[in-house]
Chain A
Amino acid sequence: MKVALFITCLADQFFAEAGVAAVRLLRHLGCTVTFPEGQTCCGQPAYNAGYWAEARQVAEHTLEVLEDAPYVVLPSGSCTTMLRAFYPELYRDQPRRFARAEALSRKTYELSEFIVKVLGVSRLGQGLSGRRIAYHHGCHALRELGIKQEPLTLLRNAGAEIVDWPAAEECCGFGGLFSVKLPEVALSMADRKLATLPQGQMDYLTSADGGCMLHLSGRIENRGLNLPVRPLASVLWEAAQR
């Protein structure tokens, strides 16, 4: 199966290893992975800040870059949502572009979702046996796309225990520009989220969303807490090792 990787700008810059892990995992599962060269950012920063004209420019660019890909896979729930749900929204009043956005929307998947739903794989290996993992659900993937069980299934089936986290589905406070426009509120949200973790009962925290991870790991480090944060793609690749 031929798959185009849309790395997303955050993963490209801050989680390059996770991108490598995603490619290796997809190849391991029998996919041929391409990396359309012209790709940049999905345009979400402009969209969420209300700059829709600029968001459309970036969306237009991405639509072109990904036009020929049979499938588009992203190691990010939020950017997947941008392509899948918000691009068509941006072109509500432009029928031809809307149709192109819809076409992209139909072939775009978040990594764990692609593995479970399209490849039909729910067991990657036993590489996580004995690991205790806290899973942070990114809000967009969870509430806009309804992706919830896919990452958990892959982690559990690889032997991991998902720790009981009362605030697992609550927003961490990242929210893109929100995190710098209202930093005090954003940090307070991160603190609330971290405070509800079952202390000392997990090896690390993982998530499909780079923004949330930068925000949470930045807060963890700032407060001197001891909890590694690892991108989901890296953890899933580890799952497939044994």
Chain B
Amino acid sequence: MKVTANHYPQEAARVLRETPEVRDSVTGATLNFDSKRRQAYAEVEAETWRRWAEAVKNHVLTHLERYLLEAEANLQKNGVQVHWAEDADDARRIVAEIARAGRVKKVVKAKTMVSEELGINPMLEAMGIEALETDLGEYIIQLLGQPPSHIVGPAIHLNLEQIRRLFHERFQTPLEASPDQLAAVARKLLREGFLQADMGISGGNFVVAETGTLALIENEGNIRLSTSAPRIHVALVGIEKLLPRFSDLSVFLSLTARAATGQRLGTFVSLIQGPRQPGEPDGPEEVHVVFVDNGRSSVLADPEAWETLRCLRCAACLNACPVYRQTGGHAYGYVYSGPIGAILSPGLLGLSETKPLPYASSLCGACFQACPVRIPIPKLLLTWRNRAVQEGLTPRLEAAAIKGYALAMTRPWAYRLASRAVRLLPEKALDNSLVPVLKAWTEGRAGLKPSPKSFRQMWEDGEV
């Protein structure tokens, strides 16, 4: 996927200015998700679950090599073909080879963010292979030629009116069609897709090392169809998605659903144990798991950012984030948006391509409270900001101003002098548009008015 994260500030402003309806759609949907998550957490001992899940993920990440090899052996024992992709090029080549060998003409896609990360759809198109997104939200944005703006609800930025208009233009549905009617139209089209496709491409929520099980969570049934109806199933799985034991699924499946949508369990949970066996009536002839690195092992080697890899891609942090809520995901300029995107993208792509993202937060901490695996997102946002400073990626004027600030604040006489000087300025001096910082403040906010006397002055004058 093309990375435009360095334009985040301009894009965020543009979304608010030009498409204010996005804010309403995203705010409505995320508040709903977030309140359902709170209810679902309250039903269980969420703190204990979160701490346990954190510990299991930490264990997996600490012994990742061992678990990857164990998973590979058990997947192969189940008849699954295992592939290793170091980067996006590798992954695309692997998928292309599988498609070529299987004479694939049509692919159904089950919502996968890794596929977006790797640019699978453009590659398939270039090969003359039709790729049909089968998650309803993903199908809608595919029709519009847009990337997902949310990890779980890719079309979260659209409202019903916009979808009605789109379906009216494409499929001649009435402009006042109900959501059910729209879904019925899509369902009919998608069903034909499932029946015609030679290959289904999915992601993977978990791979169990102990049993070689691929676990997938969904609500629409499209993942089950995409992974069972076509002859070939390819699962693209980040190397961090492992769980040690089958029994770990009992908490992880429920915790993911609770965090993502406030459900106790996804409507469909598929536990895939390999291709069709002799005597079985259905299922794919070939199952491939492509383990994808694409920057993950460098994040794993990072003494601080490694914790990011616990992520389950539930989007609970996006739903809890008041910054994400204003713009949705497109402004972030990469497939992963919101708080997790702001710490994962610099890790996967490097800071110079994603400079503004660690600043896309007021550090309010709501993301950490929502995260099912307790990723210290605010702390990591600060860590990335500190690295930007150390790598000289911050504006020179800012660096100079902070140096001056530290000088003044470690010398009480200088602080006192500055405090006096502010009060000698003509009235409204702080309400101007010449100094960039003040301009940014006063556009949309009343000017700053210092107290007539500082507290310190009042204390020293015996007025307290």
Residues of A within 8 A of B (CB): 7, 9, 11-17, 19-20, 23-24, 35, 37-41, 43, 45-52, 54-55, 57-58, 60-61, 89, 139-140, 142-144, 170-171, 173-189, 192, 214-215, 217-219, 221-222
Please name the residue on chain B nearest to A178 by beta carbon.
Answer: B362
Contact B446 A221 (CB under 8 A): yes
Please name the residue on chain B nearest to A184 by beta carbon.
Answer: B13
Q: Is B43 an interface position by the 8 A CB rule?
A: no
Contact B441 A183 (CB under 8 A): yes
* Residues of chain B contacted by A222 (CB below 8 angstroms): 444-446
Contact A171 B359 (CB under 8 A): no
Fill in one digit per residue for B18-55: 1 if any A CB lies within 8 Å of its CB, else 0: 00000100010000000000000000000000000000
Q: Which of B359, B409, B455 has the most CB of A within 10 A?
A: B455
Alpha-carbon gap, A51 to B441, bound state (A) = 21
Contact B455 A185 (CB under 8 A): no
Q: Would you give 14 A-B contacts (Cβ < 8 Å), ordered by A?
A: A12-B456, A13-B450, A16-B454, A39-B412, A40-B415, A54-B403, A140-B363, A143-B364, A143-B365, A171-B322, A173-B322, A177-B359, A182-B9, A182-B323
* Residues of chain A contacted by B6 (CB below 8 angstroms): none
* Residues of chain A contacted by B459 (CB below 8 angstroms): 35
Contact A143 B382 (CB under 8 A): no
**From DSSP, what is the main secondary structure of chain A's interface residues?**
helix
Task: State whether A139 and B409 are in contact (beta carbons under 8 Å apart), knowing that A49-B385, A50-B388, A184-B17 are contacts in the complex.
Answer: no
Alpha-carbon gap, A96 to B285, bound state (A) = 64
Contact A143 B369 (CB under 8 A): yes
Contact B449 A219 (CB under 8 A): no
Fill in one digit per residue for B328-365: 1 if any A CB lies within 8 Å of its CB, else 0: 00000000000000000000000000000011111111
Select B16's contact among A19, A35, A184, beta carbons within 8 Å: A184
Select A58's contact among B394, B406, B422, B463, beta carbons within 8 Å: B406
Q: Is B366 an interface position by the 8 A CB rule?
A: yes
Alpha-carbon gap, A159 to B456, bound state (A) = 32
Select A139's contact among B17, B362, B443, B457, beta carbons within 8 Å: B362
Size band of the interface chain B makes with A: 35 or more
Alpha-carbon gap, A50 to B358, bound state (A) = 10
* Residues of chain A contacted by B386 (CB below 8 angstroms): 50-52
Alpha-carbon gap, A178 to B402, bound state (A) = 15
Select A170's contact among B322, B388, B453, B464, beta carbons within 8 Å: B322
* Residues of chain B contacted by A180 (CB below 8 angstroms): 437, 440-441
**From DSSP, what is the main secondary structure of chain B's interface residues?**
helix
Select B419's contact among A13, A15, A39, A140, beta carbons within 8 Å: A13
Task: State whether A16 and B441 are in contact (beta carbons under 8 Å apart), knowing that A50-B388, A54-B403, A58-B410 are contacts in the complex.
Answer: no
A-B complex: 6 closest residue pairs judged by Cβ atoms: A175-B362, A50-B385, A218-B445, A171-B364, A143-B365, A221-B446
* Residues of chain A contacted by B456 (CB below 8 angstroms): 7, 12, 35
Contact B448 A214 (CB under 8 A): yes
Contact A139 B415 (CB under 8 A): no
Select B363's contact among A13, A35, A170, A178, beta carbons within 8 Å: A178
Contact B382 A182 (CB under 8 A): no
Contact A47 B382 (CB under 8 A): yes
Q: Is B202 an interface position by the 8 A CB rule?
A: no
Alpha-carbon gap, A41 to B404, bound state (A) = 13
* Residues of chain B contacted by A39 (CB below 8 angstroms): 412
Q: Which residues in chain B, 385-417, are within 8 Å of chain A measured between CB atoms?
A: 385-389, 394, 398-399, 402-403, 405-406, 408-410, 412, 415
Alpha-carbon gap, A222 to B463, bound state (A) = 33
Least Cβ–Cβ distance between A133 and chain B, in angstroms? 22
Q: Which of B422, B443, B464 has the most CB of A within 10 A?
A: B464
* Residues of chain B contacted by A17 (CB below 8 angstroms): 451
Contact A50 B363 (CB under 8 A): no
* Residues of chain A contacted by B365 (CB below 8 angstroms): 139-140, 142-144
Please name the residue on chain B nearest to A8 by beta carbon.
Answer: B455
Q: Is B12 an interface position by the 8 A CB rule?
A: yes
Contact B399 A51 (CB under 8 A): yes
Alpha-carbon gap, A164 to B327, bound state (A) = 27
Alpha-carbon gap, A47 to B364, bound state (A) = 15
* Residues of chain A contacted by B457 (CB below 8 angstroms): 16
Alpha-carbon gap, A186 to B327, bound state (A) = 11
Contact A48 B363 (CB under 8 A): yes
Select A171's contact among B12, B366, B415, B453, beta carbons within 8 Å: B366
Select B327's contact among A19, A139, A185, beta carbons within 8 Å: A185
* Residues of chain A contacted by B422 (CB below 8 angstroms): 13
* Residues of chain B contacted by A189 (CB below 8 angstroms): 322-323, 326, 362
Least Cβ–Cβ distance between B313 and chain A, in angstroms? 23
* Residues of chain A contacted by B444 (CB below 8 angstroms): 183-184, 187, 219, 222
Contact B412 A40 (CB under 8 A): yes
Contact A188 B409 (CB under 8 A): no
Contact B410 A57 (CB under 8 A): yes
Alpha-carbon gap, A50 to B323, bound state (A) = 19
* Residues of chain A contacted by B402 (CB below 8 angstroms): 45-46, 49, 51, 54
Please name the residue on chain A nearest to B452 by beta carbon.
Answer: A16
* Residues of chain B contacted by A51 (CB below 8 angstroms): 386, 389, 399, 402, 406
Task: State whether A183 and B440 are in contact (beta carbons under 8 Å apart), knowing that A35-B459, A189-B326 are contacts in the complex.
Answer: yes
Contact B441 A185 (CB under 8 A): no
Task: State whether A192 and B445 are in contact (beta carbons under 8 Å apart), knowing that A41-B409, A58-B406, A180-B440 are contacts in the complex.
Answer: no
Contact A185 B445 (CB under 8 A): no
Q: Is B195 an interface position by the 8 A CB rule?
A: no
Please name the residue on chain B nearest to A13 by beta carbon.
Answer: B450
Q: Is B458 an interface position by the 8 A CB rule?
A: yes
Alpha-carbon gap, A90 to B38, bound state (A) = 32
Select A37's contact among B326, B406, B412, B451, beta carbons within 8 Å: B412
Least Cβ–Cβ distance between A204 and chain B, in angstroms? 17
Alpha-carbon gap, A189 to B388, bound state (A) = 26
Select A12's contact among B379, B405, B437, B455, beta carbons within 8 Å: B455
* Residues of chain B contacted by A41 (CB below 8 angstroms): 405, 409, 415
Alpha-carbon gap, A217 to B459, bound state (A) = 26
With A13-B451, A19-B455, A20-B464 given, name 14 new contacts (CB 8 A): A9-B415, A23-B464, A43-B409, A49-B385, A139-B363, A139-B365, A143-B366, A173-B322, A181-B9, A182-B359, A185-B327, A189-B323, A218-B441, A218-B446
